[in-house]
Amino acid sequence: MFMKIKKVCVLGGSGFVGSHIVHRLSAAGYQVKVLTRRRERAKHLILLPDVQVEECDVFFEAALQRAVSGCDAVINLVGILHESRRASFDKVHMELPRRVAVACQAAGVKRLLQMSALNAADNAPSAYLRSRAKGETAAMQVASETLQVTLFRPSVIFGRGDSFLNLFAKLARVMPVLALARPEARFQPVFVEDVAQAFVASLENPATFGQTYKLCGPKVYTLRQLVQYVVDTLRLKRVIIGLNDRLSYLQAWAMELLPVKLMTRDNYYSMKVDSVCDCPFPEVFGIQPMALEAVVPEYLADDTPRQVYLRFRSKAGREQ
Ligand SMILES: NC(=O)c1ccc[n+]([C@@H]2O[C@H](COP(=O)([O-])OP(=O)(O)OC[C@H]3O[C@@H](n4cnc5c(N)ncnc54)[C@H](OP(=O)(O)O)[C@@H]3O)[C@@H](O)[C@H]2O)c1
């Protein structure tokens, strides 16, 4: 028997993955409430059918409980790659999932989908991955017959608007030489639409209750291969230098000191374990995961300065 769900509340719905999930939920006929710290960040979702955007401090217990009440399901996608003075990994990845699960239980929400990350483990080499494991445990501890929880652990996610391949594309456009930390680290990138479909498909499916799913694409790449692929796709000639372990650490440490964080030592520690799956894409979702080569050229080419300029002109109603 499938669970019947009408209204879904999405935390982190304004972000890269969240926006794709919200589009899918809306297209599938769900009513969606997106919680955001600033409405402005979710304005691209406001015009979707049955999507409501609400400002909410999700760390404020009463506000969170008010926000989730009346919803049948909650999807928590809130996450950070770098800590800041205001947001630690433990606060965002452990404390919040616990609070969300407790708020769901108290408000009678029957379904919770919690985003995590591949390689989340209590003994993982990075604080990011350890905090993810603690969040998974916290959410599962609150799960019950009346609150069914499912956890998702994707590898790095690609798609229009991603911050992984697009970051390397941005760097490659301006730098003749790319110095790569941990060039032999392995990834199995998964397409954002496949991740979104897995979330939406699991909402009402009891076979997924209480499960943890690893989500990976069809192919494993080293970081060097991925960056070379981006450079080739952009038809650039760039020198890619792989740093040894010591220099990788030093690069991460130096970059951590910059005002805009592209990488930190914790990211370096995360890359000590390969971000690859030991199993195929979960059969229960009925998806053949999309190959990176089938979608990346289209959106990377679209992000050239010329294309961005032409998009602006077209939006402004000017001829191209
Ligand atoms: N992208 C990947 O390759 C990847 C891989 C594995 C796992 N994940 C996980 O998947 C989730 C979504 O990733 P994404 O790439 O879509 O990230 P994203 O674009 O950075 O979006 C993150 C969302 O989290 C919310 N958020 C961030 N910090 C917050 C805070 N301190 N308080 C409240 N809300 C906060 C933001 O909401 P507002 O700004 O609207 O408040 C934003 O919508 C994250 O948990 C991420 O760790 C991503």
According to the model, what pLDDT value does residue 320 have? 41
User: Counting atoms of ligand 1 from 1, which one is nearest the CA of 57?
Assistant: 33
| pLDDT values of the chain reduced to their tens digit, one per residue, 320 residues | 678 999 999 999 999 999 999 999 999 999 999 999 999 999 999 999 999 999 999 999 999 999 999 999 999 999 999 999 899 999 999 999 999 999 999 999 999 999 999 999 999 999 999 999 999 999 999 999 999 999 999 999 999 999 999 999 999 999 999 999 999 999 999 999 999 999 999 999 999 999 999 999 999 999 999 999 999 999 999 999 999 999 999 999 999 999 888 899 999 999 999 999 999 999 999 999 999 999 999 999 766 555 666 566 655 655 44
Cβ–Cβ < 8 Å for 303, 169 = yes
Is residue 276 lining ligand 1, measured as CB closer than 6 Å? Answer: no
Determine phi and psi for 164, rounding to 5 degrees: -100, -70
In whole angstroms, give the CA distance from residue 272 to residue 115: 21
What is the widest separation between alpha-carbon atoms in the chain?
Answer: 58
User: Counting atoms of ligand 1 from 1, which one is nearest the CA of 189?
Assistant: 3
Cβ–Cβ < 8 Å for 78, 21 = no
The full set of domains in the chain, from first to last, is 7-158+190-217+276-289 (3.40.50.720)
* Cα 196 off chain centre by: 10
Residue the block writes with tokens 């928590």: 76
Residue the block writes with tokens 């060097």: 224
Rounded distance from Cα 176 to ligand 1 centre (Å): 31
Measuring from atom 8 of ligand 1, which residue has the nearest CA? 117
Q: Mind listing the pLDDT tens digit for each residue in 173-202?
A: 999 999 999 999 999 999 999 999 999 999
Measuring from atom 26 of ligand 1, which residue has the nearest CA? 78
List the one residue out of 230, 158, 228 whose CA is nearest residue 188.
Answer: 158
* Cα 238 off chain centre by: 29
User: Counting atoms of ligand 1 from 1, which one is nearest the CA of 157?
Assistant: 3
For 225, half-sphere exposure in the C-beta direction (CA atoms, 13 angstrom radius) is 12
Measuring from atom 15 of ligand 1, which residue has the nearest CA? 16
CB atoms within 10 A of CB 277: 21
According to the model, what pLDDT value does residue 303 have? 61
Is residue 87 lining ligand 1, measured as CB closer than 6 Å? Answer: yes
Is residue 15 lining ligand 1, measured as CB closer than 6 Å? Answer: yes
User: Counting atoms of ligand 1 from 1, which one is nearest the CA of 78?
Assistant: 24
The DSSP secondary structure of 117-164, one letter per residue, reads: -TT--TT-SSHHHHHHHHHHHHHHHH--SSSEEEEEEESSEESTT-SS
* Cα 260 off chain centre by: 20
Task: Find the angle CA(67)-CA(71)-CA(75) to the nearest 5 degrees.
Answer: 80
